[in-house]
Amino acid sequence: MAIQSIRLFGDPVLRTPAAPVVDFDKELRKLVKDLTDTMMDAPGAGLAAPQIGVGLRVFTYYVDDRLGHLINPDLDLSADLDEEGEEGCLSFPGLSFPTPRAIRAVAKGFDMHGEPVTIEGSDLMARCLQHETDHLDGILFIDRMDPKQRKLAMKAVREAEWSGLAAPTVRFSPHATGGRAL
């Protein structure tokens, strides 16, 4: 097990676009293992490499008993949206908010051995694929909310116990919420 610290909102790494993976080597396989272990420990439904301070286009997911990872993802989204679905993020501990997302998504990319992979998902899986791919572009779920909802979310962020504590070494226990952390 190699559980890493999860970076919190306010850490600049979460706003930095990640670089495509070029070398499908032993280091990459270790990164996938670290992401998987850290996500399962949190526990979360998804985790992107920037959330553990690594600027590479890699994420892991654990949705509906499907555990996996994707490298250099490219997304194709349905036009129809789920406007009201609640979404959380491991970099915003204990908080979840309605966040509009496409209902269906197809993600194409690679596995850690460099083999092409296609993941198709709807509902939570589609939401996860969009949320994690956004992390690789430095985009956070608050950016996807409508302005009114974002204002409420930022108020909750400012009032959260972890607010302003974006030091890389800080970790928190997951709080009981109805939301799903990604």
Q: Interacting stretch for Zn ion, rule CB under 5 A, among 18-26, 61-69, 79-87, 174-182?
A: 174-182
**CB of 39 or CB of 182, closer to Zn ion:** 182
**CB of 32 or CB of 89, closer to Zn ion:** 89
Q: In what order do the strands lie in the sheet with 58-63?
A: 46-48, 58-63, 66-77, 104-110, 116-122
> Can you read off the two tokens belonging to residue 121?
């998902």
Is the CB of residue 110 less than 8 Å from the CB of residue 65? no
For residue 24, the minimal CB distance to Zn ion (Å) is 24
Q: Is 45 in the site for Zn ion (CB under 5 A)?
A: no
For residue 104, the minimal CB distance to Zn ion (Å) is 20
Whether 135 has a binding-site annotation, put simply, is yes
Burial 88-102 (b: 16+ CB within 10 A, else e): bbbbbbbbbbbbbbb
76-115 footprint of Zn ion as x/- string (CB under 5 A): -------------x--------------------------
Question: Total binding residues for Zn ion by CB under 5 A?
Answer: 2
**CB of 91 or CB of 112, closer to Zn ion:** 91
Name every residue whose Cβ is closer than 8 Å to that of residue 25 and which is 6 or more positions away in sequence: none
Query: Within 13 Å of residue 51, how many CA atoms lie on the same side as its CB?
Result: 31
For residue 87, the minimal CB distance to Zn ion (Å) is 9
Pick out the residues of the known binding site.
89, 131, 135
Q: Which residues bind Zn ion (CB under 5 A)?
A: 89, 182
